[in-house]
Amino acid sequence: MNRELELKKEDGRKQASSFSIEEFRKPSARHRGMPFWAWNTRLKKEDLEWQIEQFRDMGMGGFYIHTRVGLDTPYLGEEFMDCVKKSAMLAKEKGLFCGLYDEDRWPSGYAGGMVTKNKEYRCKALLITPYRQGTKQYKKPEFDSRAAFSPQGNGMFLSAYQVKLDSEGRLEDYIRCCENEAEKEGYRLWYVYVETAYDSPWFNDQAYVDALNEKAIACFLETTYEKYYEALGDEFGVTVPSIFTDEPQLIPKGTLGRAKGLEEVMLPWTGDFKETFAQEYGADILEHVPELLWELAGNQVSRYRYWYHDHVTQRFSQAYGRQAGKWCREHRISLGGHMMEEPALQSQTKALGEVMRSLSGFTLPGIDMLCDAREYTTAKQAQSICHQYGREGVISELYGVTNWDFDFRRHKLQGDWQAALGVTNRVHHLNWMSMAGEAKRDYPAAIGFQSPWYREYPVVEDHFARVNTAMKSGRPVVRIGVIHPVESYWLYFGPNDQTGGIREELETRFTQITEWLLFGNLDFDYISEGLIPELWDGRRLGAMDYDIILIPGCVTLRGTTLRMLKDFLDLGKQVLFLGEVPQLVDAKESREAKNLAERCLHAEFTERAVMEVLEEYRFLDIRYFGEKHLKKPNHKKNWNGERAKKYLCQVRQEEEGVWVFLANGKALENQDLILPDDLEIRFKGLWKAVIYDTLTGTEHKADVLHGHGATYLNIRMYEQDSLLLLLIPLSGDKAVCTQDISGQDRGISGSKMPAVLWEKNLFREKVDIVSEEPNVLLLDLAEYMFDDDADSAGGPEEILRIDNIFREKLGYPLRRAALAQPWTVENKEAERHILCLKYIIQCADELKGISLALEAAENTEIFLDRKRLEKKITGYYVDPCISSVLLPDLSEGTHELLLKVSFGRKINVEPCYLLGEFDAELQGSASILRRKRSRYSWQGIDGQGMPFYGGNFVYRTEIQLDEGYYEAEVSKFRAPLILVKVDGSTAGRIVYSPYRVTFNITEKKSHVIEFYVFGNRVNTFGAVHNCDEREIYFDPNAWRTSGEGWSYEYQLKKAGILKAPVIRKLSDKSEERQE
């Protein structure tokens, strides 16, 4: 067997589980995702069971209990913990897992404010300023959901410096001095104060934790982790497999914008930093603070700056990840989660120093992928830690901030590329317990019962569970290691105007080497220099045995790194220097790296040069095979033979053979065109191949060719396709194969299309549209008056803006700001204020059976045409928090709906909705209601009387068909998926390209074909006044834009089938369909 695929058992690391075909066909809960279950309301035990049942309906393996905005039950209190225990019990009964989350919202570490009531445990920062305390006026505190806080000018004096800059703004001289010392000629006085984080409503009127302080984090573990262990300890490692920690961080490190500017800079600090720094480096950091800000003259680098960043990284990783990880190991539970700002050298330097060291204590090192981003570096860093420490997997918080209309196609694409980069534990963001108030704007997607497609989610989750059965088995095959360049970046963390260029260059190279290797299908691991001493045993780096290590343009290397590289070369392995050889060792000039480099390979820092050197380490290569047609006459690309730089791969070795998982790693530019790739995949060595179909749970032998010591698979891959292969060595595979395959038939697997006997586009066929739910009219523009005060009257205005007008009037925190959790806020005042909201309803026809859906119905009086209505709640709309009340019949004409809301700090003023059988004709910001139409066309429902509708609906048509085998295609649609039925029987689901299902017809007659479209609620609950069509960050403020970003006219999304289906007859016989 090939050298790179030899299974290494002798290192004593924990073996991964073995693959099971039974598990693949019907994966158990341990391979399935566990969404965040957002506890964001007043907890009720009676709601837990039906909510937990939805996770099983969705194909999930369990859930993570995650407190979010809106929790109104005291965090970690008796009632809260009773609900935790009941949830774990119910999960166990249903064969699910109950994961824990270690904080009240995020970032983790302050225990909902209980830890940081002790001010010694609050986040601290150095304020380095040209202004002596008391000489500058500071702004009021700003509040955010991060560790960052703004200076207040009330810190403890630490040191002062006389600073002299040369003509270029570089440090010429500096002298430590007293606070009250007079400024020397040619110098400028700079002061250093230690500021402590102030009370913030986001941290429940406390502050974020000092994550450099081991005692503070120990208090956090005692307050939170021990509490959960006391309640659920017997289930740790059984029903309760893991605890999720979220975005632990430091106050972001700052830099000067301009070296000669008079700017303030804040840097992380803790009480004993000076002492531990001296113990580690034999120096007093307070003697050298100016070197943290300014560049040295003569283009020298500062060792003190380098040491500062290194020590911050070490203190943080030791205090947080390693301490929490040790506690979890001792208590038989896995620590999972992710850091803050992981992807770039700059972002991780600012937020925590270095990601990999910070993750080294995690059992499940993790990532967070927001806005459907493609952060390859983030995933690779976590996967590398997983590989080197022999951890059980990589966890990912995925799908967050993608909005209501994020469809199944994109669910699969996002999950696939992450699976190819090692993600095994999927944590879906987000399943809301309630949509009440601000919760409905809490970073959707809404992955739960409020989305009408939720019971169809096994279509997605079954696929990933099957991928996991293979990707959790065996061991990773990775031959290439890459020294992580973040420590070189630290050297230049100085003024932007002086170091921005070299930092950008380092950043670009970091991105380039990552993507060159990944999309060149040369898998690799990053190597953290700070972890080498504990991982390198003289032969292997932890659990990994690399064959070549790359130094990707680093400026400095550690002495311990060079010693490892020397050992590595002595083993007969290779080291490759890209670009210039580092002239610094441990941030000090040295020839040590150059001396070592004389024994090593060298290449320019270009993609071509890198690929040429690493070709001998390649196991697989993916290239285009044939021309690619682009859906225009005579428009095609001849990419034949070019490397397909869009696929990511993971290779794993197990006893039977080698698993290969391939996935599209790039976002789609156009999901409406069917543009498959015809590929030739070449594997080194002679193998037989079995394709495991992760969508169906079946497997079949792949047709491959052998020649020149390699195996060739030709296959067609559609836009959302991924490929799971098991390669099994041929007997006698060590023999040299010289067969010439150039003249052999190279048919593309999956490309053979059946002959089409006839084709019919349904654009002229009559179609009915039937909705599963009542139609909906959004009411969110109202006239208003407060406490019967005519002077307060105004409008029409949007409802969230009205809410803020009167919160400001009463001195309440605005809901757009960081808010303390309801459980921390005493509702001292009775809701004695009355907010009147008047909506005008225009009816072109008489309408019956109309309901009003609204939140806080118990606090609202309802008047229609000035008559007070008896409030009879008949059910709810979408979520139990939105009650429905039957209204009297609406005659033709204008109607006035008046709501009198008992308004208070904890009352949510939200949009309301009219429900019923009607059409809504949208006219800018106004709507007219009409009786439901009788004729529809093949287009989106948003233009056919249902602009705000978000439920499921059916396009129904009849067509004359005779006996035969048929295909239906719907290539342009906006929906999570489409279920196709023929004469009431399910033909299949249209989800992924090429957007087709097949069906049999056994009798010549008129047949009913139904396209059951699963909806989303983006036009019902989305940011419908946001004018930015390219908005990707759907946080709560996306609903509160202003200026040119705001519109009173509704900004809606397309919904439904946007192009008429096509029916094709493939055969006169009806028995050819293959399930």
The pLDDT score that the predictor gives to residue 632 is: 67
Three-state SS annotation for 221-269: HHHHHHHHHHHHHHHECCCECEEEEECCCCCCCCCCCCCCCCCCEEEEE
Q: Identify the CA nearest to 704 among candidates 716, 694, 692, 714.
A: 714
The pLDDT score that the predictor gives to residue 627 is: 81
The verdict on residue 926 lying in a domain is: yes
pLDDT digits (tens, 9 = 90+) for 898-931: 999 999 888 989 999 999 999 999 999 999 999 9
Mean pLDDT within 224-247: 98
Q: What is the CATH number of the domain that holds 517?
A: 3.40.50
pLDDT digits (tens, 9 = 90+) for 965-1006: 999 999 999 999 999 999 999 999 999 999 999 999 999 999
The C-alpha atoms of residue 302 and residue 305 are separated, in whole angstroms, by 5
pLDDT at 751 over 70: no
pLDDT band at residue 1075 under the 50/70/90 scheme = very low
Mean pLDDT within 827-845: 88
Q: Do 989 and 1047 lie in a common domain?
A: yes
The pLDDT score that the predictor gives to residue 321 is: 99
Q: Are strands 242-246 and 36-39 parallel, antiparallel or unpaired?
A: unpaired
Contact indicator for 157, 191 with CB cutoff of 8 Å:
yes
The pLDDT score that the predictor gives to residue 639 is: 86
The pLDDT score that the predictor gives to residue 747 is: 61
Q: Do 628 and 739 lie in a common domain?
A: yes
Q: Do 590 and 624 lie in a common domain?
A: no
DSSP three-state, residue 53: helix
Q: Count the residues in the chain.
A: 1075
The verdict on residue 230 lying in a domain is: no
The verdict on residue 845 lying in a domain is: yes
Both structure tokens of 707: 């020649």
Which residue, of 599, 616, 633, is where some domain finishes? 616
Mean pLDDT within 396-417: 98
* pTM of the shown model: 0.96
DSSP three-state, residue 531: helix
The verdict on residue 699 lying in a domain is: yes
pLDDT digits (tens, 9 = 90+) for 427-446: 999 999 999 999 999 999 89
Contact indicator for 324, 361 with CB cutoff of 8 Å:
yes
Q: Do 445 and 547 lie in a common domain?
A: no
pLDDT band at residue 738 under the 50/70/90 scheme = very low
Q: Do 799 and 701 lie in a common domain?
A: no
Q: Do 440 and 570 lie in a common domain?
A: no
Number of structural domains, the chain?
A: 5
The C-alpha atoms of residue 795 and residue 786 are separated, in whole angstroms, by 12
Q: Identify the CA nearest to 373 among candidates 1032, 912, 1071, 1041.
A: 1032
pLDDT digits (tens, 9 = 90+) for 567-612: 999 999 999 999 999 999 999 999 999 999 999 999 999 999 999 9
pLDDT digits (tens, 9 = 90+) for 72-107: 999 999 999 999 999 999 999 999 999 999 999 999
The C-alpha atoms of residue 342 and residue 904 are separated, in whole angstroms, by 40
pLDDT at 1074 over 60: no
Which residue, of 416, 441, 472, is where some domain finishes? 472
Q: What is the CATH number of the domain that holds 911?
A: 2.60.120
Tell me whether the omega of the peptide bond preceding residue 107 falls within 30 degrees of 0, making it cis: yes
Q: Do 497 and 529 lie in a common domain?
A: yes
The C-alpha atoms of residue 415 and residue 351 are separated, in whole angstroms, by 26
Domain housing 798: 775-930
Q: Do 925 and 785 lie in a common domain?
A: yes
The pLDDT score that the predictor gives to residue 352 is: 96
pLDDT at 133 over 70: yes
pLDDT band at residue 13 under the 50/70/90 scheme = very low
Q: Do 985 and 1005 lie in a common domain?
A: yes
The pLDDT score that the predictor gives to residue 995 is: 98
Which residue, of 930, 948, 965, is where some domain finishes? 930
Both structure tokens of 313: 């990284």
Q: Do 677 and 603 lie in a common domain?
A: no
The verdict on residue 145 lying in a domain is: no
CA 446 to chain centre: 13
DSSP 817: S
pLDDT digits (tens, 9 = 90+) for 629-649: 676 666 667 789 999 999 999
Strand ranges for 710-832 from DSSP E: 710-717, 722-729, 758-761, 768-771, 775-779, 781-786, 789-798
Q: At what angle do helices 607-614 and 496-519 cross, to 10 degrees?
A: 40
The C-alpha atoms of residue 502 and residue 485 are separated, in whole angstroms, by 13
DSSP 621: E
Contact indicator for 950, 1015 with CB cutoff of 8 Å:
yes
How many other CB atoms are found less than 10 A from the CB of residue 924? 9
Lowest mean pLDDT among 33-37, 458-462, 719-723, 932-936: 932-936
Q: What is the CATH number of the domain that holds 1061?
A: 2.60.120.260
pLDDT band at residue 754 under the 50/70/90 scheme = confident
Q: Identify the CA nearest to 443 among candidates 401, 503, 385, 493.
A: 401
Q: Do 682 and 558 lie in a common domain?
A: no
User: For the chain, what is the mean pLDDT?
Assistant: 95
List Cβ neighbours of 446 (8 Å cut-off, separation of 6 or more). 404, 430, 431, 432, 435, 440, 1017
Q: Do 448 and 503 lie in a common domain?
A: no
Q: Identify the CA nearest to 922 among candidates 1031, 1051, 774, 771.
A: 1051
The verdict on residue 382 lying in a domain is: yes
Mean pLDDT within 445-459: 97
- Helix then strand count (H, E) for the chain reads 22, 58
List Cβ neighbours of 593 (8 Å cut-off, separation of 6 or more). 557, 562, 581, 582, 583, 584, 585
The verdict on residue 739 lying in a domain is: yes
Q: What is the residue whose two structure tokens read 């068909």?
A: 961
Alpha-carbon distances, residue 138 vs 33, 264, 666 (angstroms): 47, 12, 46
Higher pLDDT, 631 or 115: 115
Both structure tokens of 920: 């809504």
The verdict on residue 410 lying in a domain is: yes
The C-alpha atoms of residue 137 and residue 120 are separated, in whole angstroms, by 26
